[in-house]
Chains A and B, each alone.
Chain A
């Protein structure tokens, strides 16, 4: 029977390397998936440009943050990027609405099949990708400032006397808090306000919604603004947590789509649950449990290898395998979104 301290150490180890990162990554995926699911539910196509929209929003936020930092404006200990977020959201909303008016509206009026929208979104993806790289360049950008840690490993060890430290970064805590706030705000908007109800009605049954006198252009505009806001916030939080590199946002597309589909595409609650499922699966399956077993098992059973189910390089493979299994076994997802 392992000692109490070993048990606690093992738990703290898991919390530090699995629980906290998964919560934070899951929140980022959830916010991204919410944007995808809104666009899919209301505009009825998979928006391949969403990843690069996140990059664009993060880019404008970064530029605003740099400007604010150069002026000496800050909100220490929180990162200045939070002040730059409104700029990013406004710019990205304008971008999305302009793109909708020039590109997607034409196909909506023609009632084109959704594959045409998808190909158009690929064209938009190219253009936004080019713009972001043109303005800010393809390299890593640092824009985080303010306090870095809520709890440092050393402080935790001295506080509790355990040998394993727990680190919670400000960016991780911020991600989780902001995600919770945003989800509550989004649900309040969708359930309680009139515009939100018209958006839900439009998503449910377009013809009946139009018959009820709902203005489709307004619904579309509100959808794009919501998607742009969610994309900007998700992109900025991801950039704060890891770092900003335009190329990585395209790679996030796959886990985000997986999250939206697993949860049930078209259902906001599905996007959130899906995001956390994907994040937790990715991290638990690719984590090396060697130290965890070392704490729990007696000496002679200590593992030799890393005790990883899959190598860390296959992180994206995990989300994809979950996606394929869900598509084959239960295509509507957990919360019964749109049928195929």
Chain B
């Protein structure tokens, strides 16, 4: 696939995506089209993160859900105000528990490395872990109980730093990068199948921890009312220049109405326009983040570092024979990709305005994003972005379109026919089936995806 046909393919693909979104805007509503676009942008960022790991390093990371959740945690920990009583009551004990945890881990690693293999090493490691565990629990349990009893209905957790939420996007990336470093150190030596299973397990553990450790993020009680980087609709509706602007845009329509009706219609228009404006603000923010990350990744890919990474991916044995430290390079790529996914996760929590650990399902997060990368173009950054847009679009639109199809196809059966009712109820599950089918078809007939990887020929 040479460069020019690749570019024209990309342009056509993105044009089709834009057309689909416009069709939704006209056919259903502009508000819905913008909502879909925002989530498309976030999915594109996450797909980019996955593609960095898969396309550059050939790493099959099935634990994306965990890193996205860590990004969400960052959003909570950065933007929420600190809960005054909680730190005073449980802070010191928690810090001590954390210190002992680090000491235990450091001690275990030290003993593992220093002592020769044998019974003494096994015994000493077991003793250190056992003693460390009980000491940690001694400080941890009362700390957690104290923190969670501080106003449990409203708080019951430590709170955050009270900074603007936009910083959390960077912090989310850092959290995910940190977790990726720990995870990578442990599991990156494993073969691809095992790496998939191990990362799947890690993401399940991260979500389990977030659901249960109430003192951190209120667990399943959820954190709501996160601050926003964009204005609130209600505030917008009060601003005079906004109202005048809406009035000017709809001047012809308003002029044709009588005076009494005019103010009501204007009020309704202002509400509609304020929602659209807020969503467009989000679109602008997310699109800029996506563009920045895309530019950085592409320039990294075209740099000597990028060429080295791809050479390692394509032939690990000779790269290793040349003296490249494969595990260290894989770790680099793993951390970078996870950081990008973390940023995406923070963006998602910002858009939602709340942190709900219960919504992180592997099907919706991990596997759907993998479908995006593979369908869009595995190994190609632009392909991953395209995949993010298209697959998310079909995932969301499959339900209303499916319902509409079934409605028309079984209309002749009559309103209360059992089969029709069952089909209407189950339409949403068919999108799972559809995703799987699309993935298999693309893998079989177009294994590179819609925008396959660019292979430079001299």
A residues engaging B (CB < 8 A)? 45-46, 48, 103, 106, 113-116, 118-120, 122-131, 133-135, 137-138, 250-251, 253-254, 257-258, 261, 305, 311, 313-314, 316-317, 319-320, 323-324, 327-328, 331, 340
Contacts and interface: CB of A to CB of B under 8 A. Distances in A.
Contacts, number: 128
A333 B186 CA distance: 17
B374 A320 contact: no
18 contacts: A103-B440, A114-B193, A118-B196, A119-B370, A122-B436, A123-B443, A126-B363, A126-B367, A127-B437, A131-B433, A133-B432, A135-B426, A316-B201, A317-B204, A317-B205, A320-B202, A320-B204, A328-B186
A319 B196 CA distance: 15
Please give me the 8 A-B residue pairs with the lowest Cβ-Cβ distance, nearest first: A126-B436, A130-B433, A130-B432, A320-B201, A127-B436, A123-B439, A133-B429, A123-B440
Contacts of B434: 130
B377 to A, nearest CB: 14
B57 to A, nearest CB: 13
B362 A126 contact: no
Chain A CB count within 10 A is highest, among B211, B212, B362, B443, for: B443
Nearest to A49: B436
B325 interface: no
A135 B193 CA distance: 31
B261 to A, nearest CB: 47
Given A313-B208, A319-B201, A340-B191, 6 more contacts: A126-B435, A127-B437, A134-B430, A134-B433, A316-B201, A340-B194
B211 to A, nearest CB: 7
Contacts of B437: 123, 127
B198 interface: yes
Contacts of A113: 192
B99 interface: no
Contacts of B431: 130
Nearest to B204: A316
Nearest to B442: A123
B435 to A, nearest CB: 5
A311 B211 CA distance: 12
A134 B425 CA distance: 9
A48 B200 CA distance: 11
Contacts of B276: none
Interface residues of B, number: 41
B60 interface: yes
A277 to B, nearest CB: 16
Nearest to B196: A118
Contacts of B190: 327, 331, 340
A265 B68 CA distance: 31
Given A118-B192, A250-B363, A313-B212, A127 B433 contact: yes
Nearest to B378: A119
Contact of B198 (A311, A313, A316, A327): A327
Interface centre among A124, A254, A327, A328 (most CB of B within 10 A): A327
A133 B204 CA distance: 22
B11 interface: no
A261 B191 CA distance: 13
Task: Describe A's contact surface by its main secondary structure.
Answer: helix
B443 A127 contact: no
Given A134-B429, A311-B212, A118 B205 contact: no
A131 B437 CA distance: 12
Nearest to A102: B440
Given A119-B443, A133-B426, A327-B190, A126 B433 contact: yes
Interface in B185-231: 186-187, 190-194, 196-198, 200-202, 204-205, 208, 211-212
Nearest to A128: B436
A48 B62 CA distance: 11
Contacts of B191: 340
Contacts of A253: 200
B114 interface: no
Contacts of B443: 116, 119-120, 123
Nearest to B191: A340
B149 to A, nearest CB: 16
A129 B194 contact: no
B139 to A, nearest CB: 14
B141 interface: yes
A119 B435 contact: no
A110 to B, nearest CB: 10
A45 B60 CA distance: 14
A172 to B, nearest CB: 26
B141 A305 contact: yes
B444 interface: yes
A126 B439 contact: yes
B208 A317 contact: yes
B64 to A, nearest CB: 13
Interface string B20-62: 0000000000000000000000000000000000000000100
Tell me which of B192, B201, B202, B433 has the highest count of chain A C-beta atoms within 10 A of its own C-beta. Answer: B201
